Structure formats: structure tokens, C-alpha cells
Structure 1
Amino acid sequence: MTVYEDGDGETKSHSKIHVNDDEVDDNPIEQVRLTVPITDDPSEPTITFRTWVLGLLSCTTLAFINQFFGYRQNQLFVSSVSAQIVVLPLGKLMAAVLPTTQFSVPFTKWSFSFNPGPFSMKEHVLITIFANSGSNSVYAVNIITIVKAYYHRSIHVMAAFLLAHTTQMLGYGWAGLFRRYLVDSPYMWWPSNLVQVSLFRALHEKEKRPRGGRTKMQFFIIIFTSSFAYYIIPSFFFPSITALSLVCWIWKDSITAQQIGSGLKGLGIGSFAIDWSTIASFLGSPLAYPDVAVINMLIGFTVIFYIVTPIIYWTNTYDAKRFPLFSSHTFDHDGQTYNVSRVLDEKTFDMNLKEYSGYSKLYLSAYFAYGYGWGFATLTATISHVALFYGKEIWQLWKKTTGAMKNQLGDIHMRIMKRNYESVPEWWFQTILVLMVALAIFTCEGFGKQLQLPWWGVLLACAIALSFPLPIGVIAATTNTQPGLNIITELIIGYMYPGKPLANVAFKTYGYISMSQALMFLGDFKLGHYMKIPPKDMFFVQVIIKKTPFVTPIQAKTIYENSSCRDNLP
């Protein structure tokens, strides 16, 4: 750390590292220093005709594919990395064949070209951000699905449309409020973004092959081809390699052996998988996680999964043996699947307390019940961790934003962005936030109050969503893990407004998913920050993606077509 005085006599400080005996300003995080370049070319094109065509194409394609396959029992998810790879040859093809003629917009000074030159890395980054917006399913679509498929009811198409869009755009409003803390701060480094930065550089930077070695591009092509070929095995030829349970093979007729050895419905002792999609299905690629985070999760998983849950189950605490060892379903007192239709009023869609009292209390499996308990503990631990380890830095950043501290904080990447590009005004995000809150209230109060959530519930959900992006965002930006707010939102609205199933899920969507969307946007902002994308271009692209009807109608059509085959579900 170097401390110096500027011309005004103010004390400033910044981090420096040594590269070939020359001092260079850089980021304090070693992984960022090794991955992200500290150069920028402001003349490199960003939003072009190629960006819009390939970006919208990849966004709509991934939105349809992931929503369609999301209804499978073994869900298939196609990430934005797939689009990141596929659009590169398409972009270079467009750069080779499209005309370079400049076209003028009548009555303006604007002009554009279908082909402004070679396909640039910044175009590639924006297209990937397009794709990422489509690859992540709109959570509010699940509400439409459960209403249609499980409760056999209809919901007004505009109510469904506005529900999806308001939850998405609320997240964008929250992202703008916390951008300074979770994007500008050099200590918020978002590990998963470094994987994409490395891939961008491997795909675009020219590299001389070392003697006897391989370039990054050659290595990538080998791994990509091998992994693609290997994935055919579990997907088509040998699906059983997703869970090979030795204990179950030996004791085929033993229930206890199945509970101990099954890799799908048991403890998985003696079970293993050689399918990478199974290994990475829960947390994503472990290569993107810091080792400390992986070890922390491994210890917690071992304690809960292999110690606490077996003790609770085999000691029959709270009659745990009456229900499956692992299950996310709900059960009645006899251990049968809970018949929800018996306790719901068909006309008002409210809970019928008389029928509920005459039927059964609602029970969960031991693992699911204690999972909820650990989830509550996780939220309080998140707040404590952020306050103790990052409280001082957050306080400094807060004083900086309110004008109480004038010295410049940040790294070389933030200084490049401030110097070369104009920042997005805060009031742009604040305007979106106010409009979306008002539209969310209209959505819930209008359309015959089909969503059951009153106006005060929307405001309360927004208050919860406003309280957690900072502490949870710090965890996500430093460990690549994200605790969820779903359990706390379900609990709060369940106590305050009981007996309203749609109000519960709508409240959870506005309170939890809008915050989750905010963190996704912030992660994209950080990727743009690393790759030196103009902030206003990022803003324009993301707002267009979330406000245009390219995603939701496709998803809505898919929902109604797929859920129609579920009319016989209980």
C-alpha cells in the first residue's frame, strides 16, 4: 500500500504490484490481477447491429430452451457460456460478409453501419450479457405454472405478464442503489466473472504457442470437444453413471441399505458419479469457487447431511421415520402425500380452517424441516459476517457517497472506467424503481385481486428486498455463493396474512426474487466493469432486454402447453 499527497495536500492511497520491476496500479485481489487486463481501448465498438442480432437471438433461444427443459424431472440448463462460444464464429462471419457502407438516419446527425469492422471483444461481452438475461428463468413464471398445473385455475394473462416484468425490473432498481458498493469496490471481485474473462481473452487475444505447449485457444478447443463428446454418454447411452450405488447393488431388497447407499434418495454412502453435470448440478462449476468457500460448504454439508439428519431420523425424533429420509414434499399424519385440495376453498382459493382441523397438520421430512432451520441461521450469520468483516469498508464507501470523504477509493479498473466513460446517473435507476413499485401494486390490487397480495404486502416485500442485497451481495461477490430469502419471506407473509397461497408465493417473488435478480444484474455490471464496457451501454442493453416482450410470451406459451398435460395431478 502506497500513501501519498496530491497537489491539494490531501492524503491518498492505492495498491501497487510489481510487474517487471515497474510499479503498476492494480487490484488488491490476486485472482483479479492474474486474470483481468488493465488496458482499455475506448474506440472499440460495443453496441452494433451484430450485437443486437446475435444478442436477441441468443437471449430468446436460451429463454425458450431453459424454460422448456425446466419441466423435466432431471432438469437441463444451458448457460450463457454456450452462447458465448457459439456467437464467436457467427460474429466473425457477419464481420466478413456484411457490407461496410455507412447509412445516415434522416433528419439527424446519426449514422450507422451493419459492419463497423472486426468482431470486437466488447461486442462479444454484451452479447453474452444478453444471453445471460435469457438463460436465467423468470421465477414468477413458476407462479403461473403452479396455478395452472397444480391448482387447476386460470390467471389473467396481463396479471401474469406484469408479475413477471415487475419482479425483473424491481431487481434492476435495487441493483442501481447498491452498484457503488458491490461493483465499484475492488474487494467485491465476483469469482465467477473471472472464468468468463479468461474465456473472452482466450477466444480473442492472439497468443504465440510455446514450444512443446498449447495456446489458450487450443487448450479450450480440446477441452470443449472432449466434454461435448463425453456428455453424450450419460445423456443417451448410459444415464446410470449419474449415480452408481454400490451398497444398493449388494443389498437390493434392504430399505435401510437403500437409505444409506442411494445416491438419489439416500445418504449416498458408497455411491459415486462420473457425470460432470451431476457433480456441478447443485452449486455450478466448483472451479469458479474460492477454496475457502468450497471447504466451508463441505464442512456444513457433512455436518447436516451425514451427522444431524441420520441422528434425527434413526432416533425417530418427532416421528421422523413416518416420512421419507429425504423429501421436499409435504405429508399428512399418516405419512401420505398431503392432499392440498381438501383444505382449500374452491371459490375463494383461501385455506379452509375447518377442513384443515378435520384432516391433518402438515408435516415435512426431517431433512427438509431442519434445512429450513439452517436456512434461518444462514441469514443471521450472513448479516453478522458482513458487519464484522466488511462493515468498515462499507461505512467508508457510504461516507464517500454522501460527500463526507473525498479521497479516491478503488482500483485501476474503476479509474479507467471513470476516466473513459460516463457513469449512469442514479436517478435513472431510482425512476425505474418507483415506477415498478407502483406497477407491482397495480398488478396485485387489480385483475380481481387474483394474486391475493394487498398493497401493503408489496411494500413490505420491497422493504425486505431493500434490506438484504448488500449483506448477501457481499457474500456472493466474495465467495460465489448466495443465501436465499425464500424461507424468511414465506414465514413473514404466512404469519401476517395466513391462508392465502398465492399471496405467499407472490410475496416471496417480490421480496426474494427481485433481490436475486439485483445480484444477477450486479454480477453482469461487474463483468462489464472488468471488460471496460461503457456503463450507459450496459444500462441500455439490460433495460431493453427486461422491458421487451421477447422472453415472457415465449415462456408463457411454453407453460400453458406443457402444463396442460398435468391436469390430472393432485
Structure 2
Amino acid sequence: MASAVLDHDPPPKHLDEDEDNDCPIEQVRLTVPTTDDPSQPCLTIRTWILGIVGCVLLAFVNQFFSYRSNQLSISSVCVQILALPIGRWMARVLPPTIIRIPLLNWSFSLNPGPFTMKEHVLVTIIASSGSGGNYAVGIVTIVKAFYHRGINTMAAMLLTQTTQVTIFTPLNPPLKKKQFLICFFFLRSPVAGIRLGRIVQEILGGFSVHVCDSIQCRALNEEERRPKGGLSRLQFFLISLGCSFAYYIVPNYLFPAIGSVSVLCLIWKNSIPIQQIGSGLRGLGVGAFAIDWATATSWLQSPIAAPPFVLVNVLAGYVILIYILMPLCYWTNIYHARRFTFLTSHLFERGGAPYDLDRILDAESFSLDVRQYESYSDIYMSTFFAISYGIGFATLTATLSHVFLFDGQYMLKLWRQATSKANEKFLDVHGRMMKANYAAVPQWWFLVILVSMTALSIYACEGFGGALQLPYWGILLAIAMALFFTLPIGIIGATTNTFPGLNIITEMVIGYILPGQPMANVVFKTYGYISMSQAITFLSDFKLGHYMKIPPKSMFVAQLVGAVIANACYFGTAWWLLTSVPNICETDLLPPDTPWTCPSDSVFFSASIIWGVVGPYRMFGPGSIYVSLNYFFLIGLLAPVPVYVFHRLFPEKKWIRLINFPVIFGATGMMPPAKAINYNSWFVVGFTFNYWVFKRHKQWWGRYAYVLSAALDAGTSFMAVVAFFALGNYDIYAVNWWGGVLDDYCPLANCPTEAGAYIPNGCPQIQ
């Protein structure tokens, strides 16, 4: 079998429940069994077929939705649920024929026996590569759709692959190879790690997602009896999927307006302040609601999967920004707030008109023309966009401060354990089982991929006429930054199931070093921030494989192949849409009922102007308009201190420890492009399921909640794709009536309220 060819494992040593379960993490100790069957096949032909098909479908659908007004993210849970009955069907119908591969001395069976749990996990891992997105595709999008420039196809393909497939290798010279519990590596990260991999993996061990995934996988694979008068999980999934599929024709085609209903705007149709307060798409969203699952999950993970204390922290951060800071800043006219659109990521000149980028950008060098910039106008942001950057600054320093205060001693303990000569004691029962039964990934596998991907990264940046503008040392600096932030972000993610967006720091660093070069800025940001972010995501998948006793070599190959295939699909889908949908992303030229507004790429484009074209010194440096936003760095640094002090003074008050300022500040990290209606809907669904349903129907919640979330995602996405090919290809996006547009009918919410400001179309003159 293929798995046997890959693993070359030592003779299996079966461990059972008699083994002392000394796992230090209680959730894992109570839910993950200490049993393993090393004879189970892993990388079979069924694994590859189901995993690759699932990966391709997820990558296509997720990239497809990334350009739409209501962006959806479909998780690998859909593939996990559907793969099980298909895999069992293949085990029944495929013949046990042995296929031999010439020259390679490899062979595999078309049917090695029953479909195993390990096959099921690996199918999910391969498919999950298609659910995370590819940040580098955003570079291709803004170059083609916003800057209206060409980009070399080969350079673009190299960029999308190298930012995602370079390995975080476990270089650990003082330790022997045989002492590795597992191969600590990161797909998607151009970083060579030292002992950090072991420490981060130990921290991620208690990540609730791993435990939930492990429980769900075992629950699906166990022989499930249909409850009397009830449904099995698979039956519930299929019924919910069908209902979601059928219903989404309403908000997607028949009645898009229910994606955001603003009650105040329907009552006060001629009041700018009331519409700014009541609009869910352009304002504060007071009284706004939606009857659309896509609205609740467009920019945030499923609210059903969010732990209750995270819901409370996110709600606190949302209220602080939207209902305290934003009204205070706008109606006191901070940063000339009343001169510009209320909530937008678009950029303006000093009079309030849209900023004409062509006037300051040199067409040949694709860089800032300083003389033209100084003679034209500084760049102005809406106060909401400016404050959101300030909140981003606070998130960065709050993360470092929180981790230092609350987890500093724990990190030091882990470091000492990882570097101790007696590191055999570092292994818990699961580590001892993995070491006894499976061989580690050879060091040279990592080194080959690391060296080749780093070389290709440098070639992509230095080659092709230097079109990407980033010199070779920029790659190395991005690597160093990714290494530095991996540990604190990993800790926040492990404890809260949320990951603060720290892309701002990478933009800022390269913006100071290479101002006026937008391509260098976005490329550096991608290699730095996304390498760190995706590194943690992929290591968390590897930790799931560790708990499910997947051979490290099989896990390595599955993740690598999945990443390469997913990246190719992301790029191909994006290139197809960018060349086939007329005026994609150009909202001024698109018809009003089109969904192809590219909200996330619009924010990415604005950020490339702020940090790349103009640069942080001109935007946030001494004498600049927004210099006072730098105080948010200090606010974020100090905010966790009183929480820590009260936690030490009153350790019996467990709720104090749950106040998490990195989550509070990072709560609105998706705004923009996310709107108030997205957060309102997210909170309603989250609190309904995780408080009301959980308390009153706990057994139902435990059995069906996550299955329902996956089914709603899948049904919604499948209908949107079907509607696009059936109707969108003919430029038919909705029924032609007042409810046929995704609009809350609050047009005045976009109007300025300062006398003498630029007046957009449809807005009244302010006296």
C-alpha cells in the first residue's frame, strides 16, 4: 500500500488503556483515547481521490466567493462529513487489485480493506488546504483590477506557491533526530524554526478546535445508531444542506434586500444622521437585521463555533469601536470626519472628493511621484478607517503585553523543557505512542523544500525585471518577523480560538524602509504576516494528526500535496474571474445588482496606497494628519496590565482571567470590509446557539450544532455557485424589483455633513 511505501515505520508497538495517561491538558486527557492501531492504512488511493477532489472544490468555491459582496468561507467540515459514506462505498465496490508503478518500485491496492479513521483524517487534512484562502492572490487582484497593470503570469504563480508551500523546518542541532516527538513544521511559512516549533506545538495542544475535531471525527467513524424518532448526524447534515440550498435562492436571487434590513432608514428617509445610525451596510447598524446565513458568516468564522467568553470579548470590542469611539469621533469632527463618507475604506483628497491615484503614481516605475503628491493633496481616510488602524496598533502591543504577563512563565517553562537534556520527559502518552510506532520525517525533506522555495521566492522578487520591487533581503526580514510573532499569536489563538490580525506591523516596517513602492509593500506583507498566520494554522492541523495517531510522513505528504493543489486552484479561479467578469471589482462601472464588488480586495488596495505608495512616515509620522493614532500603541501595551493585577489580587474570580484585550481590540479587525450588519447577525446567531440552545437543549447542541453550521455553509455556497453558472453567465443577478438589490436603502448614510465638502451624487447640499 502507498502508506507503507511512505512511512518505513519501525515495528509497531501497540499501547492501550493500561498506558499511564499523563497528558497535562485536561480536555485532551478526558477526550482523546490512548489507543492506536499502526496497521491501519493511511495514504490509500481513496485518500487521494477524496482529498484532492475535496481540496479542488473548496479552493474553487472559496476563491469564487472572495470577490462577492457577501463573502463566504466554506470549511473542510463539509468534506469531512461527505467523505465518510463515499469512502465506505468505495471500500465496498472497488476491487482489491494491486497497482504497480514502473521504475519506482511502488505499489498500492485499489481496495486495502475497510475505510479507516486515519484515511478519513487525511482526507480532511488535504481538503482543508482549500478552505484557508491564498493571500497572495490578492496581490494579483489589485494589480489587475485596481491598478490596471499587467503582471507576469509566471511571477504571479511563483508568488502564490512560494508564500504558501515553504517549510518551517525543525532545525534543532543539540537534539538527536530520534528524540523528536513529531516533525514540527509549518507549510506556508518561509521560516526555518529552531526549538520554537516544539514550544508552539505544546501550546497549541489545548486548542479547543483540535479536541472538537478529534471528537467529531471519532463520532462520525463510530457505528452510529439512529436515535428513535431522530436523525443520525449524516441524515441531519444532508437535510440541513438541502434546506439551506433551497432557501438561499431567496437572499441570493429573489430577495437580496433581506441581507440587510434597516428599520430606521425605512422610517426616516430624509435624515442623514438617522440613516448613519441605522444603516447596517454604511452606518452603525442600530436596529438593522438580516435573514441570511451568508450575512452572519461573510467575514467571521461560524458564530456557532465561537466559545461563549470569546463572544463576550468580541462584543465588547465591537461596542467600543462602533458605539463609543466612532460616534464620539465623528460628531466632534476628529480628523475632519464629517467631510467624508461615514464608514468606508476609500481614500479622499482634502476637499472630500475621491483620491485620484493616477496623479501621484509614476506609470513607468510604479512608484510615488513625490513632486506630484506634494502639489496635489495629502491622503485622507474616513475617521472610521483611521480609528480601525489605531485599534490595529493597539492589538499588536496588547498581544505582546498580554502574552508576557499571563503566559511568560509558562513559555519559559516550556523552553526549559524543550532544551533540557532530559527531554524524554517532555513526551506525554501520545508522544510516546507516536515515537514508538512511527518514524519521524527525515530532516532532508524539510531542507530540500526550504532551500528550493526560498530560492524561488528570491527569484520571483528579483527576477522578471524586478516587477515585485522587493529585494532578496526583504524575504529574509519577513522570515525574521514571522518567527518573532509566531509564539505570541499561537498562544492567543490556542486560548481564544481567534487570531489577531497583525498584518499592520509588516506593512509599517517595509513602508518605512521602502516608501513609495506598493508592490514591495504587499509582497513583504504576504511573506511576513501570512507566513506566520498560516504556519500556526497548519501546525494546528498537524497537532490533530498527532492526537489521531497519523504517521508523520503521511501527514507531511498530505499537507504538502494539498497546499500545492489548492494554491494552483486559487490562482486559476482568480485568473479566470479577473479575465471573464467585465469590470470586476470596479463598483463605479458595475451594475447595481452585481455581487462582484471585491470588498476585501478594495481594503487591500487602499492599504497598499497608505503603506506602500505614500508610506507610513507621511501618513502617521511627525507633523502628519494621523500622528495621534500612534498613542494606540501605548494604550494596547498598558490595557492588559490592570486585568493582570486584578487577576493576581483576586485569583478566585475566574471571570477576570477571561478578559482578553488582544481579542477585544482585534474584534473588529475585519472592519472594513465587514459591516455592522455582519457583526449584528453574528452576535445574534452566536448567543442564540451558545447560550440559549446550549442551556436548554445541551444534548441536541452537542450532537448537531457543528453539523448544522457545516450544512448551512455548504448549502449556501452550492446554491450561489449554481446560480452563477445558471444565471450570472447571462448577467442576471436578481429579480428586477425594489428588493432585488443587496441594499438597505439608506443612501444618505454615505453623505458628508460638513458645509463646503465635496457632495457625492444623490446627497443634499450642506449649508
Give the equivalent residue in structure 1 for 2:579: 561
Give the equivalent residue in structure 1 for 2:198: 180
Give the equivalent residue in structure 2 for 1:305: 322
Contact in 2 for aligned 1:262/1:269 (Cα 8 Å): yes
C-alpha distance 431-152 of structure 1, shift in aligned 2 (>3 A): same
Give the equivalent residue in structure 2 for 1:471: 488
Q: Distance in 1 between matches of 2:37 and 2:354?
A: 61
Give the equivalent residue in structure 1 for 2:115: 119
Give the equivalent residue in structure 2 for 1:158: 154
Deviation at residue 501 of structure 1 after TM alignment: 0.8
Aligned AA (1:52):
W
Is the counterpart of residue 351 in structure 1 residue 368 in structure 2?
yes
**Larger RCO of the pair (alpha carbons < 8 Å, separation 6+):** 2
Q: Distance in 1 between matches of 2:518 and 2:144?
A: 14
Contact in 2 for aligned 1:60/1:550 (Cα 8 Å): no
Relative to structure 2, which stretch is displaced further, 384-393 or 513-522? 384-393
Which of 299, 310, 323 is 2:340 aligned to? 323
Q: How do residues 192-271 of structure 1 correspond to structure 2 at under 5 angstroms?
A: 192-208=209-225, 216-217=233-234, 220=237, 223-271=240-288
Aligned AA (1:123):
E
Aligned AA (2:85):
P
Relative to structure 2, which stretch is displaced further, 212-221 or 508-517? 212-221
Which of 496, 515, 519 is 1:498 aligned to? 515
C-alpha distance 567-285 of structure 1, shift in aligned 2 (>3 A): closer
TM-score for both structures, normalised by structure 1: 0.88
C-alpha distance 547-130 of structure 1, shift in aligned 2 (>3 A): same
Contact in 2 for aligned 1:191/1:290 (Cα 8 Å): no
Deviation at residue 543 of structure 1 after TM alignment: 1.7
Deviation at residue 64 of structure 1 after TM alignment: 2.0
Contact in 2 for aligned 1:181/1:394 (Cα 8 Å): yes
Q: How do residues 449-460 of structure 1 correspond to structure 2 at under 5 angstroms?
A: 449-460=466-477
C-alpha distance 225-322 of structure 1, shift in aligned 2 (>3 A): same
Give the equivalent residue in structure 2 for 1:88: 84
Relative to structure 2, which stretch is displaced further, 357-366 or 293-302? 293-302
Contact in 2 for aligned 1:161/1:552 (Cα 8 Å): no
Contact in 2 for aligned 1:80/1:135 (Cα 8 Å): yes
C-alpha distance 243-172 of structure 1, shift in aligned 2 (>3 A): farther
Contact in 2 for aligned 1:122/1:531 (Cα 8 Å): yes
Q: Give unpaired runs (5+ residues) of structure 1.
A: 1-18
Give the equivalent residue in structure 1 for 2:633: none
Q: Deviations over 1:76-119 (max 9, x none)?
A: 33222222223223222221211112344557764321111122
Q: Distance in 2 between matches of 1:276 and 1:32?
A: 32
Q: Tell me the SS of whatever aligns to 1:395.
A: helix
Q: Tell me the SS of whatever aligns to 2:412.
A: helix
C-alpha distance 206-304 of structure 1, shift in aligned 2 (>3 A): same
Deviation at residue 144 of structure 1 after TM alignment: 1.2
Q: Distance in 1 between matches of 2:460 and 2:155?
A: 6
Q: Distance in 2 between matches of 1:287 and 1:414?
A: 32
Deviation at residue 281 of structure 1 after TM alignment: 2.8
Is the counterpart of residue 362 in structure 1 residue 363 in structure 2?
no
Aligned AA (2:110):
F
Q: Distance in 2 between matches of 1:282 and 1:410?
A: 38
Deviation at residue 425 of structure 1 after TM alignment: 4.3
Which of 533, 538, 556 is 1:521 aligned to? 538
C-alpha distance 110-353 of structure 1, shift in aligned 2 (>3 A): closer
Aligned AA (2:165):
M
Q: Distance in 1 between matches of 2:103 and 2:440?
A: 28
Relative to structure 2, which stretch is displaced further, 30-39 or 515-524? 30-39
Aligned AA (1:45):
P
Q: Distance in 2 between matches of 1:70 and 1:567?
A: 11
Q: Tell me the SS of whatever aligns to 2:515.
A: coil
Contact in 2 for aligned 1:190/1:526 (Cα 8 Å): no
Aligned AA (1:82):
C
Q: Distance in 1 between matches of 2:412 and 2:451?
A: 26
Is the counterpart of residue 169 in structure 1 residue 186 in structure 2?
no
Q: Distance in 2 between matches of 1:211 and 1:566?
A: 51
Q: Distance in 2 between matches of 1:424 and 1:44?
A: 19
Give the equivalent residue in structure 1 for 2:206: 189
Deviation at residue 511 of structure 1 after TM alignment: 0.9
Is the counterpart of residue 136 in structure 1 residue 132 in structure 2?
yes
Aligned AA (2:583):
C
Relative to structure 2, which stretch is displaced further, 447-456 or 228-237? 228-237
Q: Deviations over 1:20-64 (max 9, x none)?
A: xx9962645454455444432222211000111111112122222
Q: Distance in 2 between matches of 1:244 and 1:351?
A: 42
Q: Distance in 1 between matches of 2:510 and 2:222?
A: 52
Relative to structure 2, which stretch is displaced further, 558-567 or 342-351? 558-567
Deviation at residue 310 of structure 1 after TM alignment: 0.8
Contact in 1 for aligned 2:58/2:130 (Cα 8 Å): yes
Give the equivalent residue in structure 2 for 1:512: 529
Q: Distance in 2 between matches of 1:211 and 1:89?
A: 21
Deviation at residue 450 of structure 1 after TM alignment: 0.3
Which of 373, 390, 403 is 2:407 aligned to? 390
Q: Distance in 2 between matches of 1:542 and 1:53?
A: 15
Contact in 1 for aligned 2:60/2:570 (Cα 8 Å): no
C-alpha distance 253-336 of structure 1, shift in aligned 2 (>3 A): same
Q: Distance in 1 between matches of 2:541 and 2:53?
A: 19
Identity score, percent: 53
Q: Distance in 2 between matches of 1:261 and 1:568?
A: 26
Q: Distance in 2 between matches of 1:487 and 1:231?
A: 36
Give the equivalent residue in structure 2 for 1:69: 65
Give the equivalent residue in structure 2 for 1:378: 395
Relative to structure 2, which stretch is displaced further, 509-518 or 218-227? 218-227
Deviation at residue 292 of structure 1 after TM alignment: 2.4
Contact in 2 for aligned 1:69/1:75 (Cα 8 Å): yes
Which of 541, 553, 557 is 1:540 aligned to? 557
Aligned AA (1:420):
N
C-alpha distance 275-559 of structure 1, shift in aligned 2 (>3 A): closer
Contact in 2 for aligned 1:28/1:186 (Cα 8 Å): no
Relative to structure 2, which stretch is displaced further, 487-496 or 383-392? 383-392
**Count of residues paired in the alignment:** 549
Q: Distance in 1 between matches of 2:361 and 2:582?
A: 21
C-alpha distance 566-237 of structure 1, shift in aligned 2 (>3 A): closer
Contact in 1 for aligned 2:71/2:294 (Cα 8 Å): no
C-alpha distance 446-104 of structure 1, shift in aligned 2 (>3 A): closer
Give the equivalent residue in structure 2 for 1:278: 295
C-alpha distance 106-437 of structure 1, shift in aligned 2 (>3 A): closer
Give the equivalent residue in structure 2 for 1:14: none
Deviation at residue 447 of structure 1 after TM alignment: 0.8
Is the counterpart of residue 45 in structure 1 residue 41 in structure 2?
yes
Q: Tell me the SS of whatever aligns to 1:111.
A: strand
Relative to structure 2, which stretch is displaced further, 465-474 or 265-274? 265-274
Deviation at residue 556 of structure 1 after TM alignment: 5.2
Q: Distance in 1 between matches of 2:212 and 2:167?
A: 24
Aligned AA (1:85):
I
C-alpha distance 286-33 of structure 1, shift in aligned 2 (>3 A): farther
TM-score for both structures, normalised by structure 2: 0.67
Q: Distance in 2 between matches of 1:79 and 1:55?
A: 13
Q: Distance in 1 between matches of 2:226 and 2:518?
A: 60
Q: Tell me the SS of whatever aligns to 2:41.
A: coil
Q: Give unpaired runs (5+ residues) of structure 2.
A: 1-16, 170-184, 187-191, 589-767
Aligned AA (2:573):
Q
Q: Tell me the SS of whatever aligns to 1:112.
A: strand
